[in-house]
């Protein structure tokens, strides 16, 4: 028997494909796949939301308060005044199927929430910051816009869809991070569109009540002046439109609709 | 320093780590392959075979158990890509060169040991792999793989 000296043969056990090519195919392909899955989930959620009538929603959430999510305060002296503004704004939406309730949450961050069952929550931080009734009216009207578009239910439905999606792919480990990133970004884009739609409806209500839309975006200008300016990337990641863009959009909508942006504003005396 | 900055950092940090891990891992892999090829060329004439029964005309003077072992770990890039691959299935191409290097390195260490001790050949060569559990102790995850090559080194008077 003869031993033939030779080196091991190459290309049998190791693929000669460049690792970056495999990485690119996997990342792009899976991102695409995840985006499609997420968009279908959003579509299904929207179908379900439309199928749930406001009456059914009210029945499910009657007597429920969002005490679990926010810390509610029931002795804020400003609550009655805010509820009064809400009541007047509401008349601009006569066929509203909701019986709205206004609650105040103890939080320094200025914020307002639309909660299932016709509950609007405003934070003490928001009440501290608003400068006039007109500013407050637009914030409340914006939340009414969310109710009209059923965004509050969509939000919950999408949260559930995201949780299911996460549970499904985290079983496969490594892909979970990229899946979540794609799903999250997909949802945020939707969320920004919803905010813009709610802004426009809110502006209509303010115009109907006051006959002008002066001070409507004043509150956002206040926020913009205090917040740091986000970069392009941060704007893409954000759930709400960039405050500057948002003010611009609201302004344009008011101008295109021919509404007066000047008028007598009502001061808040609290 | 708002929420958006934190999100941005959360997004860019793994990305930077991925690029860093790829560049470093690719450099180490290239260097290791160069080294393997050079050593293999030098040891080409040393017979390393898998048969258990020796040919009748081999006159064996002495024998010894020889082994070569390598412990390898994954880099972050390979781990992430393999994780994505695990979602859809298929050849885990990023792991293949890693294990190929480990096999050849283990055999080379075994042969170098045998040659240094004056042997002429190694018969009945076997390769074994075992997984090292990581320090978390929950049995999940892998700290690395050991690749073990072993065989019977032979000192021959005639072949």
For residue A5, which residues of chain B lie inside 8 Å, CB to CB? 44-45
Residue A11, CB-side half-sphere exposure with 13 Å CA sphere: 2
Smallest Cβ distance to B84: which of A178, A228, A237?
Answer: A178
pLDDT of A89: 92
Tell me which residues of chain A have a C-beta less than 8 Å from any C-beta of chain B. Answer: 1, 3, 5-8, 13-15, 17, 19-20, 22-23, 26-27, 29-30, 169, 172-175, 177-178, 181, 227-228, 230-231, 233-234, 237-238
Tally Cβ neighbours within 10 Å of residue A67: 10
pLDDT of B2: 61
Shortest CA distance from A238: residue in chain B: B4
pLDDT of A31: 87
**Under an 8 A CB cutoff, do A172 and B45 touch?**
no
Residue B25 in this model has a pLDDT that exceeds 90: yes
* Mean pLDDT across A111-127: 88
For residue A238, which residues of chain B lie inside 8 Å, CB to CB? 4
Q: Which domains does chain B have, with CATH numbers?
A: 3-158 (3.30.110.70)
From the number of C-beta atoms within 10 Å of its C-beta (0-12, 13-18, 19+), residue A55 rates as exposed
* Mean pLDDT across A87-99: 89
Residue A264 in this model has a pLDDT that exceeds 70: yes
Looking at the DSSP assignment, which residues form a beta bridge with residue B156? B60
**Under an 8 A CB cutoff, do B100 and A13 touch?**
yes
H helices present in A3-92, as ranges:
19-51, 54-61, 79-90
Q: Which of A21-30, A233-242, B126-135 has the lowest mean pLDDT?
A: A233-242
**Under an 8 A CB cutoff, do B93 and A3 touch?**
no
pLDDT tier at B40, thresholds 50, 70, 90 = very high
For residue A22, which residues of chain B lie inside 8 Å, CB to CB? 81, 85, 93-94
pLDDT of A228: 55
């Amino acid at each position: 028997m003869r031993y033939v000296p030779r080196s091991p043969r190459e290309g049998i056990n190791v693929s000669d494909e460049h690792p970056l090519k495999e990485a690119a195919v996997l990342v792009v392909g899976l991102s695409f796949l995840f985006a499609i899955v997420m968009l279908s989930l959003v579509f299904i959620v929207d179908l379900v939301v439309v199928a749930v009538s406001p009456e059914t929603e009210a029945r499910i959430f009657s007597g429920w308060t969002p005490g679990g999510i926010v810390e509610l305060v029931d002795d804020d002296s400003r609550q009655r005044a805010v509820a009064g503004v809400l009541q007047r704004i509401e008349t601009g939406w006569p066929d509203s199927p909701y019986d709205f309730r206004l609650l105040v949450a103890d939080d320094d961050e200025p914020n307002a929430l639309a909660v299932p069952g016709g509950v609007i929550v405003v934070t003490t931080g928001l009440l501290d910051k608003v400068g006039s009734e007109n500013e407050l009216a637009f914030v409340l009207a914006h939340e009414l816009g969310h109710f009209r578009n059923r965004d509050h239910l969509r939000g919950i439905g999408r949260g559930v869809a995201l949780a299911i999606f996460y549970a499904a792919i985290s079983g496969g480990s490594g892909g979970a991070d990229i899946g979540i990133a794609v799903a999250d970004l997909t949802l945020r884009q939707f969320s920004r569109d919803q905010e813009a739609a709610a802004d426009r409806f809110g502006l209509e209500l303010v115009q109907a009540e006051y006959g002008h839309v002066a001070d409507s975006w004043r509150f956002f200008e206040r926020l913009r002046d205090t917040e740091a300016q986000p970069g392009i990337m941060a704007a893409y990641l954000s759930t709400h439109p960039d405050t500057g863009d948002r003010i611009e959009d609201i302004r344009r909508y008011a101008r295109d609709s021919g509404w007066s942006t000047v008028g007598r504003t009502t001061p808040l005396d609290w | 320093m708002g929420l958006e900055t934190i999100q941005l950092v959360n997004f860019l940090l793994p990305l930077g780590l991925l690029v860093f891990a790829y560049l470093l891992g690719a450099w180490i892999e290239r260097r290791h392959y160069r080294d393997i090829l050079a050593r293999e060329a030098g040891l080409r004439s040393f017979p390393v075979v898998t048969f258990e029964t020796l040919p009748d005309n081999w006159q064996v003077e002495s024998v010894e158990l020889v082994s070569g072992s390598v412990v390898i770990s994954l880099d972050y890039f390979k781990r992430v890509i393999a994780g994505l691959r695990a979602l859809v299935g298929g050849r885990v191409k990023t792991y293949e060169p890693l294990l190929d290097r480990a096999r050849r390195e283990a055999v080379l260490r075994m042969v170098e040991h045998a040659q240094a001790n004056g042997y002429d050949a190694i018969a009945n060569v076997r390769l074994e792999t075992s997984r090292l559990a990581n320090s978390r102790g929950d049995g999940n995850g892998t700290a690395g793989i050991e690749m073990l090559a072993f065989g019977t080194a032979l000192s021959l008077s005639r072949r």
